[in-house]
Amino acid sequence: MCEHEHDQTHHHHHEKSPLLKIILSIIIFTAVMIIQPSEPVKFIVFLAAYLIAGGDIVLKALKNIFKGKVFDENFLMSIATIGAFGIKEYPEAVMVMILYQLGEYFQDKAVEKSRASISALMDIRPDYANIEQGEEIVKVSPEKIKIGDVILVKTGEKIPLDGIIIDGKASIDTSALTGESIPREVKCGDKAISGCINTNGILRIKVEKEFGDSTVSKILELVEHAGNKKAKTENFITRFAKIYTPLVVLGALLLAMIPPLLTGTSFWIWFERALTFLVISCPCALVISVPLGFFAGIGGASKAGVLIKGSCYLEALSKPYAIAFDKTGTLTKGSFEVQNVCAREGVTNDEVLTNAAICETYSSHPIALSIKKATGKKLADDTTLNIVEISGKGIKANYHNSVILTGNHKLMEQFSIDCEIVDEPGTVVYVAKNEKYLGYIIIADQVKEDSANAISKLKRLNIKTVMLTGDNNTSAIAINNQLGLDKIYSELLPSDKVDKVEELLKEKPEGKTIIFVGDGINDAPVLTRSDVGIAMGALGSDAAIEAADVVIMDDKPSKIPTAIEIARKTLVIVKQNIIFAIGIKVIFLILGAIGLMTMWGAVFADVGVTFIAVLNSLRALNIKNKTL
């Protein structure tokens, strides 16, 4: 989808503020206009004001000519104003430069606002990490911390590296990563994500990733390189500017030479019109506001906790035909919970759970953890418990002279335990004790709280929704009964998911895109194959985040329609700028060519249109999402 050219078409960045020289030029200009000295003095003073206001522009134009970059706005402004001096229009030449520099100043301030907004948002780079050396706490560079080291994070400090909390509990501010203002409570055993701020308490964290692989590093890298992948609209503007500028210079030359020959009118009249024509023709509004619009849109999405890796993906995100979702960890939490316990007659639910938990005492499997969590108590000790794992079937445990079996139906068959076959959504765990069937436990993944809301919003946006999952059909149908997607495919291998996305790519109308949303390492191939791959970032695997084009930082599916709305509105703003800039330019060029536009008006046309377009682009930083 994206063209990966990295050339930059245009820069309007000034190393020093031109405000001081603008003020000085205005003072000199005003003094001359009031005093009205003799012609030689007027020329010298106006020339001084001109050089103060626009000397750097003329110098840039000369440097660019030697670099082979002739047709830029510096060249156009220089040739037009030097020509104005040539026909003794000194005030116009000076005021052109003053107004141009004033427009540039306000324009740079607008660009700085956009960059400052994103820089403040991404101010998550940690300055140091605390490690304990004896009884002292020492601050060291995060780059020096190794996997397995234990770091200390105090109140008010940023978490510098990803890891597991091994001691303490705290409330952490995740707003820089997720856009969510509500703090999250964390405790021993929870994951700690770098870039978050500890708002109270003290945490000891065992580091799981070196700084270069940490969440904060990956995010900063994404933001720094987001401008490298240009949208088709941006590439159109680049090509347009390269063709447009030489054409208008040629047009100005023809305007200066042909009408005097054909009509016999004064050459100087048409020469002045040609100079005005050049000033009007400067394509600043297009080449500045369009990239800035995309940049601001990426910044606006970042504020909402959505990281977009480039403007080409922002553009593709604005026109989806269908969105295909992985199930586990994307639409569901990826954490299993006991849904139901069904004991046979004469047995209590607590007995079923307790005996299952005994078998799972030493297991860290998600299903085992969910059973142990449901019992809420310690059940066995090393001296009386002997566990044997039966591959692919379950666990046999000898505990206090009793034999307990916990597993699937095949385990029951192996030990000739008579029980019913249960066909319910989720994972069925059968439990038996001393050759007697006790009952079964239903364990299932939980649908995320906002998944149904996200699907509903996408349908309102007329986007087709599809679920691709490796789970069995019964579980897939049960999840879809809660969500209402348009289509589901179950029992898929990673390669099958790629095939389904390929089918959607063939089915989509021209100009539309296919989006895939996933979080697991097995989703990397299909994330890459889709037009836009979205990874659920906070809990997603590194491979998925690396392969994706968009990262949802807080794992909320509802951020997907938010991102689409931001992308669509950004494209509307960019198109507004293109239509406005070209439309006004055409009108003013015609007026300049027929003599109805002065040099002063030409500057207002150039600087004014640019400034309005830039301000319009900045609206993308604060887009409100109507689908929320």
Which residues form the catalytic set? Answer: 326
The two tokens of residue 79 are: 């040739």
Looking only at the bridges linking them, the beta strands covering 464-468 and 487-489 are parallel
| CA 215 to mean position of chain CA atoms | 14
- The alpha-carbon radius of gyration of the chain (Å, integer) is 33
Of 586, 141, 15, 532, the closest CA to residue 308 belongs to 532
What does each C-alpha distance from 521 to 215, 294, 365 come to in angstroms? Answer: 16, 30, 18
Residue pair 175/181 in contact (Cβ under 8 Å)? The answer is: yes
The angle formed by the CA atoms of residues 561, 543 and 479, to the nearest 5 degrees, is: 45
Q: At what angle do helices 73-86 and 90-121 cross, to 10 degrees?
A: 160
Residues 245, 321: Cα–Cα separation, whole Å: 37
Residue pair 165/197 in contact (Cβ under 8 Å)? The answer is: no
Token pair 């591959």 in the structure block, residue: 391
HSE-CB of 118 using CA atoms within 13 angstroms:
28
HSE-CB of 327 using CA atoms within 13 angstroms:
29
Q: H helices within 192-303, ranges in order? A: 215-224, 232-263, 267-281, 284-303
The two tokens of residue 116 are: 């400052």
Q: H helices within 321-387, ranges in order? A: 349-359, 366-375
Q: H helices within 449-597, ranges in order? A: 451-460, 473-483, 494-507, 524-529, 542-547, 559-593
